[in-house]
Amino acid sequence: MRTSSRAIALCVVLAAAGAAPAHAQPAAAAGPAIAIDEKLPAEAKTFLRGLHPQSGDVRIAAAKAVLHLGDRYYFLPADEAKRVLTQLWGNPPEVVSDVLGLVMEKGKSPTDDAWGAVITYRDTGYVSDEDATTQDYDAVLASLKEGEAAENEQRKAAGFPTLSLVGWAQPPSYDAGAHSLIWARELASSDSKVNGLNYDVRLLGRTGVLSLNMVATMPMLAQVRQAATEFGRSADFESGARYADYDAATDKAAGYGLAGLVGGGAAVAVAKKVGFLALLAKFWKLILVGILAFGGAIVGAFRKLFGRRNEDGE
């Protein structure tokens, strides 16, 4: 069986042009058939044929947002996305419980070396961007690295590879016009010779944050960065749910700013009190999705699901 790398993206950029009106229902349609490599085992082909891709406009109800996919991308709904992430890519079910869907490019399969955008939404409340020009993200990075040894002991005990945060693959940057925050982390895993890449872009809304997360390998950095920019423009909050619609008199505030979002949300505020594991409980949940897929680990996940190699031994 062929070894596949995975680029899974959670990246969102506000796209005003072509957005569906708030009163209109997005026109989701049956998407293109998923491309299937004939070299895959029969069980893998059956798995892929059991997926039901959608294209066009797909509404993410929990976020009051719309993905304008056209015919360039396809969407897998939450239940099928979770099957891909757990059964095919080998992630534990508890880290994908909040996944709302998975988007991939037309012509690509979950078994290919191709990115896939894992969609989640956090009902955090309004995240202030007042600290956009004053944050020291190197200090945030240092805080995220603290306590890795203790966390990795827990990961080893649970049977998962250890993970270490090497540094920024792209330092956090904020687009004030689009109200989107983007950053990328380089990660080292004990079961891979190639460092992983976690590419994250968050779109700030009135009551929370829409997130798409790309996980890939560092050699794919340029490719994933380009994909994040292009695919990110397909997402938009609906009227009434946009960042500009926030009403301080009635709406809940998150209680933290952009640095807190990068560091794991509200966990940053309590990290010093309850320890680094409280922080990583949120942080690693966001980046674990797909992490077992990079390098050679996908082979083990395939074997676990399908039970054998194909006859040519690839």
- Quickly state the pLDDT bin for 11 (edges 50, 70, 90): very low
Give the whole-number percent of the chain exceeding pLDDT 70. Answer: 75
Between β-strands 73-77 and 65-68, what pairing exists: parallel, antiparallel or unpaired? unpaired
Q: pLDDT at position 247, please? A: 96
Distances (CA, A) of 163 to 149, 185, 195: 9, 12, 10
Convert the pLDDT of each residue in 143-201 to its tens digit. Answer: 888 778 888 888 788 887 788 889 999 999 898 988 988 889 998 888 888 888 888 88
Mean pLDDT of the chain: 75
pLDDT of residue 101: 94
Per-residue model confidence (pLDDT) at position 265: 54
pLDDT tens column, 52-83: 999 999 999 999 999 999 988 999 999 999 99
**Which parts of 50-131 fold into alpha helices (H)?**
78-83
Place of tokens 């993905």: 67
Delimit the domains of the chain by residue range.
Answer: 6-126+179-248+288-306
Per the CB < 8 A criterion, the answer to whether 66 and 19 are in contact is yes
Render 255-298 in DSSP notation, one character per residue: S--HHHHHHTTTHHHHHHHH-HHHHHHHHHHHHHTTGGGTTTHH
pLDDT at 134: 86
Residue 197: strand, helix, or coil: strand
| 99 vs 131, higher pLDDT | 99
Q: In the predicted model, is pLDDT for residue 214 greater than 80?
A: no
What is the DSSP-derived secondary structure letter of residue 93?
G
Residue 31 φ/ψ, nearest 5 degrees: -85, 180
Mean pLDDT of all residues in 114-119: 84
**pLDDT of the residue at 57:** 95
- Phi (first) and psi of residue 193, to 5 degrees: -85, -15
Burial of 170 (0-12, 13-18, 19+ CB in 10 A): middle
Q: Cα Rg for the chain, rounded, in angstroms?
A: 19
Predicted confidence (pLDDT) at residue 12 exceeds the cutoff of 70 = no
CA–CA gap between residue 201 and residue 172 (Å, rounded): 9
Indicate the SS3 state at residue 153. Answer: helix
Q: With a cut of 80, say whether residue 31 has pLDDT above it.
A: no
**Predicted local distance difference test score (pLDDT) of residue 126:** 96
